[in-house]
Each structure stands twice: as structure tokens, then as C-alpha cells.
Amino acid sequence: MNLKSLLLSSDEKIVRVLRRTLGDLDISVEHCQNPEIALRYLTRERFEAIIVDCAGAGSADVLRSARSAPCNKRAVAVAILDPGVGLRSAFDIGAHFILYKPVSPERARSSFRAARALMKKERRRNSRVELRIPAEMSCRESNAHLKVNSTDFGEGGMAVTLPQRVKPQGRWQLSFTLPGNEAKLNVEAEFAWEGTGRQVGLRFLNQSRELERQLREWLGRNAPDMEKDDPPIRCQLTDLTLGACYLEITSPFPVSTRVTLSMGAAGVHVQAEGLVRVMHPDQGMGVEFTRKTPQQRALLEKFLNALMENREVTPELLVEPDGLESDTREVPTPVEQAAGQEEDALLELFNKQSGLTVDSFLAELKKQRGLAAGAGVSA
């Protein structure tokens, strides 16, 4: 089943280029020339991508509305801008990716390869398979306890039938055992929607990586028709500390994208989880590591040492998205420096980047790189 996109543009050349490019990537296009029609589509159909030519009157309202439409709030948003228009204005209205005019097939193909990887993640996250199993729900706030039955299930949540009609509210602890598994799974959940009768939808919250892996593997075994992820994207590692890294990549992922990094050099391999904190279109992105355990720190130290001892070796690096954290409540805040721990200059730069232009940021990054190399601590 093709991914679906909604395209708002009255520029025939842009429409031709995107139809051809998106068609090659198995992404169907619903084209609108009128913002009012696009807004009606947003309330009635689900799309994996919302693509808006921001030159037209009312176009910004379409991007803003996509964030509030229940069925499209997690769609990947792409803004098409005239040359010279600042990035901040597009990001402020909800864009994840930016395409500058003139829109060439090459640039569109590069940008939408990265966008498609996210689109697949988000659709799979929202996909459901029929599953009828018992589950238990408990609420710490009210001490309520419910025995429920599921009707469908996916990576991001499940639908259940309540034993009685109640007003869904608050966060609950959900416990269940998947068919074929012995271990009981426990996850925090909140009510996402309320159906007719006693059926409600639950959205999983604060899932551990281990739980995500178990859910993904179970669905892979029991729902083989679910869409496969795109392969990881190769990029270049330019800067690395124990807390973060900067990657050169022509189509970086948006800020607040969860990513998995696979790094290798001189026989040392590390897999790290991170969150995109800085994104520069056509140039690169800064990633903060989110799993900062002693074991992860030791692996990163070993990898840094391998790079310093083998400076002629070019590290191999692959990156793949794990999903968008469009709800700011889900985005981890920058981790403060632990007492007695050395300052992380790269993280400091990420935290103050909002006040810098792209050129100023890259100049600061280059300066840090020179200082680190002089001290013998360069990536």
C-alpha cells in the first residue's frame, strides 16, 4: 500500500516534478490548488506527508492545521519556500523539511528519501492488527483497577473495550501478555480517543527501547504484511563527544527526531540512540545521545580512543529514524552536566544554537574541532 501525501501548490512545474519524484518513491499524491480544499482533506483523510507551497495566501494555515488535525498531527510536513525566506518562519508553523525553489528532481528525491523513512515509521507506529486478549489497567491517581479486552494492537498503542462506560482521563499502567510470549508486558498509557459504546483507544507512553523492540518483533512475526523500514542512511561523522555528535548528511532529519546510530572504526562498533537537536538543511544535523548509561559511556570512550589512535581511518556511520516526537511532552530536555563531569562543548553549542545563524554555528563548530584536534581529542 502506497504512502499518501497531500500537496498544496498552484505551480504546475513544482507539481510535475513532485508527482514524478514521489511516484518513483511509491508515494501517492493528492493535489490541491486551494487551501480551503486542502483543509477539508486534512479533517477527513489520513496522510503520511503534508507538502505545502508557502507562496500562496493561506498556505501557512494548512501546515498549522495539520498539527491540530487528530488524524494528521504526526504527518511529516514539508514546506516549499522561495529563495531567501528564513528557515525559522517555516519551522515555526510546523514544517519538518524545507525545499527551496526552484525545486529540482535531484533535490526533491534527496529530501523525500529521508522524509519517506520517517513517513514509514509513523505509519507503522499508527498501524493496527486485530488482537483480542485480556489486559489489566490501573490508575495511580484514583487507585482504579480495570480488567479490559483488546480489539486491536500496534507499536504505538491498542484499542480496548472497557467493562463499563467511564469518562476516559489520566494516565494508566497497562499490563498484558502477547500470544506466544510468556512474559507480561507493562507500559504506561493514556486515552487517545473515545469511540461509541465502551471502546477507547490507548496510546503508549515512555516506552523503553527493550519494550519497543519486543513489540516490533512480535508484530513482525504476527503481521508480516506490515511495511518494512527503509535501510539506514550512510552519512559522515565530523564531530563526536561522549554526549553528542554532528553528522554531515544532505537530507538531515528534523529536530526532535529519534534516531539510531551505528558507528564503526578500527574494529570498534557502537550503536547509540539519540535525538536530533540541530538541523541544517542540505548540510547536517546535531544529535544528542539519549541513553547515557555507564556502559554506553564506556563504549563511546573506546570508540573515541580508536579514532584517535587510527586517525587515517574514516569511521563508518549509518543513521535511521525511530520516529518523530512532535509532542513536546515526549521530547527529553537537554541533560544537565553531572557534578564533577567535564563540560561537553558540543552539547553547549547545541543548546545555544537558536541564537546563531547556520554560518555562525558551523564556524563555531569548526573552531571547536580545531581546539579538540590540538588537544588530541578529535573525532
| DSSP characters over 65-132 | HHHHSTTTTTSEEEEEE-TT--HHHHHHTT-SEEEESS--HHHHHHHHHHHHHHHHHHHHHH--EE--
For residue 79, the domain's CATH number is 3.40.50.2300
Stretch 263-270: mean pLDDT, rounded?
92
From 162, 196, 222, give the residue that closes a domain.
Answer: 222
Q: CA 260, CA 77: separation in Å to the nearest integer?
A: 21
CA 247 → CA 31, 208, 236, 253, 288, distances in Å?
34, 25, 6, 11, 11
pLDDT for res 87: 67
Residue 50 shares a structural domain with residue 176: no
77 and 104 inside one domain: yes
Please say if the pLDDT value at position 375 is more than 50.
Answer: no
Determine the Cα–Cα distance for residues 22 and 111; give it in Å rounded to an integer. Answer: 11
Q: Which stretches of the chain are assigned E, i.e. beta strand? A: 3-8, 27-32, 49-53, 76-81, 97-100, 129-130, 134-138, 145-154, 157-161, 171-176, 185-194, 199-205, 233-234, 236-240, 244-248, 257-265, 268-280, 284-289, 316-324
Same domain for 246 and 207:
no
- 69 falls in which pLDDT band (50, 70, 90)? confident
- Predicted confidence at residue 65, as pLDDT, reads 85
- pTM tops 0.75: yes
- The residue-averaged pLDDT of 264-290 equals 92
Distance CA 316, CA 342 (A): 27
How would DSSP label each residue in 220-234? Answer: HHH-TTSPPPPPPEE
Pair (122, 135) in one structural domain: no
Give, in degrees to the nearest 5, the angle at Cα 278 between 272 and 279.
105
CATH code, 357: 2.40.30.230
**pLDDT band at 329; cut points 50, 70, 90:** very low
Query: pLDDT tier at 124 (50, 70, 90 boundaries)?
Result: confident
Task: Count how many domains the chain has.
Answer: 3
**pLDDT given at position 241:** 92
State the pLDDT at residue 327.
Answer: 47
- Count of alpha carbons within 13 angstroms of residue 35, beta-carbon side: 15
pLDDT grade, residue 333 (50/70/90)? very low
Residue 226's pLDDT is what? Answer: 67
User: What is residue 336's predicted lDDT score, i.e. its pLDDT?
Assistant: 44
In-domain check, residue 228: no
Cβ-based neighbour number of residue 74 at 10 Å: 23
Model pLDDT, residue 74:
83
CATH number of the domain where residue 156 is located: 2.40.10.220
Residue 219 has pLDDT above 50, yes or no: yes
pLDDT of 3 strictly over 70: yes
Angstrom distance (rounded) from CA 79 to CA 213: 33
Question: If you average pLDDT over residues 222-230, what whole number do you get?
Answer: 74
The residue among 64, 93, 126 that closes a domain is 126
Same domain for 206 and 251: no
Nearest to 24 by CA among 116, 122, 119, 127: 116
Q: Is residue 227 part of a domain?
A: no
pLDDT at 125: 73
248 and 202 within one domain = no
* Domain span holding position 50: 3-126
Same domain, 46 and 22: yes
Q: Does 273 share its domain with 338?
A: yes
